[in-house]
Amino acid sequence: MEKGYVIGVDFGTDSVRAILVEAETGKEIGAHVSLFKRWREGKYCQPNKHQFRQHPLDYIESLEACLMGCLGGQPQAVKDAVLAISIDATGSSPVAVDEKGIPLALHPEFAENPNAMFFLWKDHSAISEAMEINEKAKLFEKDYLSHVGGMYSAEWFWSKLLHVLRQDREVAEACFSWVEQSDWLPYFLTGTQDANRMKRNVCAAGHKGLWAKAFGGFPPLAFFEHIDPALTRIYQSLPKDLYSADEIAGQLSKEWADKLGLSSSVKVGVGAIDAHVGAIGAEIQPGVLCKVMGTSTCDMLVISQEELDGKLVKGICGQVEGSIVPGLVGLEAGQSAFGDVFSWYRDLLLFSVNELDLDENIAETWKDQILQRLAEKAESRPVELHNPISLDWFNGRRTPYVDPHAKGAMVDLHLGSDAVSLFQSLVEATCFGSRAIVDDMEKQGVEINSVTAIGGIAKKSSYVMQTLANVLQRPIQVHQSLETCALGACMLAATLAGIHQNLQEAMEKMGLGFEKTFLPDESLKTIYEDRYQRYQQIGNELYNRNRPI
């Protein structure tokens, strides 16, 4: 049998990466990473207003660079044997499109309008709209928030749509439909010019868009009329049929095939959210909590309907059948800021350096090294009961129990508090946030037997990972792959190409296993328990909450 190849493309917050692998074994033979140019320049973002937008040209240019890069230098025989491409992307990161499915920012009149661009997952400009959805949903006869943890988030599909419809009349009038990044990218590769033919994925629709099999799809039109009649026109543009990521969105367009030197018979897979696909790449199984650790975290679980036994888990980001592995219910939780907390602290410490007229290479070297040096110093210090305590909600709290108004904090500071002790406190805070998620899910009867980790932080920071193991008091396995999300996309591509009978077989044949396990230090169990209780106490006092955090 001749070798077949597949390509997995992973769109993250700052960049896109693509890998070319043997479809049977998962062996990588090509890879490329491309950073988003306009995003790196800080364009279209206003952090003080919770605005984080990305221009579709960043996606188009980086996608082409990645596909060309991972195929570069490959013989034509390999290109001829490429069978399928699958893409994962951040979510919820929607955009307004016209009737052809073209993002409005690609039209000259909207080229510099942030409201016509993709609303990145971390954009929280729709906080008031999310709160309104939550309040009005309570007044509706049926609970349509029951499958997304009981509360709707400013990070998600409908709140962002409502925000743009109210804030920008020109965009509202030109908007034919509202489309997730993970749906638009596969559609773009197929060259389709009819938004009504775009195949939308059950992963994003279920976890971010209120779609649920129990409801027979999206909530009815009356629900959205109840929220705001402005939503109804866009609601009517949404399809009735949704698809899982192991299904085919279409075939590669002739334009893309010619550009890449591939056959136009190459299959393009239905998209999905990056963290969910990363869990596939990490070979997720029932009872395994897969932590996708980057700028934020996403905590993924799969569970059978029988074991779930009708439970609706509260305080999470949704439970959706088939959102990760077909036939199993995918549960999602996570933290709105994880690596972003450390980046904020790094940039705070580097303020004076950034103000100096230094050589750019020197400044970048300092930027690259400062977190590493802080971690080395923090690792050598003992954990003290009365060290500063921080809250990790620098971008609000995603789970447990979404709260966009929650803020980061540092308490118990004194004149002896230095840069290292504050860094220790921030790392602990992110780990305490992870524990709050685990504790809350277990209290609701969701069994967690083991923990795995993927993403940049899992691979790069042994200090953070060891602290997390100590706080959770559980071993944490780190996956071998450098590009776990892209590998998961390859597994989906190999499945839809027919190389593997199903996704489970693809995970077994193409998985790379685990490279390292962080074991908890039991001698630190008591002190971390005390500090975790202090973390909870401060959170409750600052935000006057009676429910667990």
Position 358 scores a pLDDT of: 65
Q: What pLDDT was estimated at residue 546?
A: 43
Specify whether 424 is located in the same domain as 487: no
pLDDT digits (tens, 9 = 90+) for 69-119: 999 999 999 999 999 999 999 999 999 999 999 999 999 999 999 999 999
If asked whether residues 94 and 165 sit together in one domain, one would say yes
Backbone angles phi, psi at 292, to 5 degrees: -95, 110
User: Does 523 lie in the same domain as 469?
Assistant: yes
pLDDT the model gives residue 367: 76
Q: Is the pLDDT of residue 401 over 60?
A: yes
Q: Give me the pLDDT at residue 354, please.
A: 67
Beta-strand pair 319-321/297-303: unpaired
Counted domains in the chain: 2
CA-based nearest residue to 489, from 250, 291, 294, 268: 268
Task: Residue 139: give its domain's CATH number.
Answer: 3.30.420.40
Which pLDDT score, from 0 to 100, does residue 365 have? Answer: 75
The answer to whether position 104 is within a domain reads: yes
% of the chain beyond a pLDDT of 90: 91
**How sure is the predictor about 2, in pLDDT bands with cuts at 50, 70 and 90?**
low
Q: Could you tell me if residue 324 is inside a domain?
A: no
224 within a domain of the structure (yes/no)? yes
Q: Give the H/E segment covering residue 340.
A: helix 339-349
Average pLDDT of 460-464? 95
The 10s digit of each residue's pLDDT in 374-384 is: 999 999 999 99
Q: Are 108 and 213 within one domain?
A: yes
Same domain, 63 and 123: yes
Tokens at 354, concatenated: 């950034």
Determine, yes or no, domain membership for 246.
yes
Tens digits of per-residue pLDDT, 333-373?
999 999 999 999 999 998 877 666 766 676 677 777 999 99
Q: What's the pLDDT tens digit per position in 285-343?
A: 999 999 999 889 999 999 999 999 899 999 999 999 999 999 999 999 999 999 999 99
Residue 329 forms part of a structural domain: no
| Residues 202 and 53 reside in one and the same domain | yes
Residues 493 and 419 in one domain: no
Q: What is the pLDDT of residue 404?
A: 85
pLDDT band per the 50, 70, 90 thresholds, residue 545: low
Domain span at residue 214 reads 5-282+481-512
368 and 238 both lie in a single domain: no
- What is the reported pLDDT for 350? 86
Please tell me the predicted confidence (pLDDT) of residue 542.
86
Q: Is residue 135 part of a domain?
A: yes
Specify the residue for token string 């706080």: 471
Q: Is residue 316 part of a domain?
A: no
Distance CA 366, CA 380 (A): 21
Closest to 63 measured CA to CA, from 195, 185, 198 = 185
CA dihedral angle for residue 225, residue 115, residue 91, residue 391, rounded to 10 degrees: -100
**Same domain flag for 433 and 413:** yes
31-40, 174-183, 537-546, range with the lowest pLDDT: 537-546
Residues 474 and 453 in one domain: yes
Residue 193: is its pLDDT beyond 70? yes
Q: What is the pLDDT of residues 136-159, one digit of tens each?
A: 999 998 999 999 999 999 999 999
128-136 contacts at long range (C-beta below 8 A, 24 or more positions apart): 129/154, 129/159, 129/160, 129/162, 129/163, 129/166, 130/154, 130/156, 130/159, 130/404, 131/404, 132/162, 132/227, 132/228, 133/158, 133/159, 133/162, 133/227, 136/226, 136/227
Q: Count CA atoms closer than 13 A to 359's CA, side-chain side.
A: 3
pLDDT (0 to 100) of residue 544: 59
**How many other C-beta atoms lie within 10 A of the C-beta of residue 220?**
15
- Give the alpha-carbon dihedral of 442, 445, 451, 453, to 10 degrees: -80
Same domain, 49 and 166: yes
Say if residue 79 is in the same domain as residue 99: yes
* Other CB atoms within 10 A of residue 408 CB: 16
Q: Identify whether 167 is part of a domain.
A: yes
SS3 11: strand
> What's the one-letter identity of residue 395?
N
Answer yes or no: is pLDDT of 29 > 60: yes
Judged by average pLDDT, the poorest of 63-67, 173-177, 335-339 is 335-339
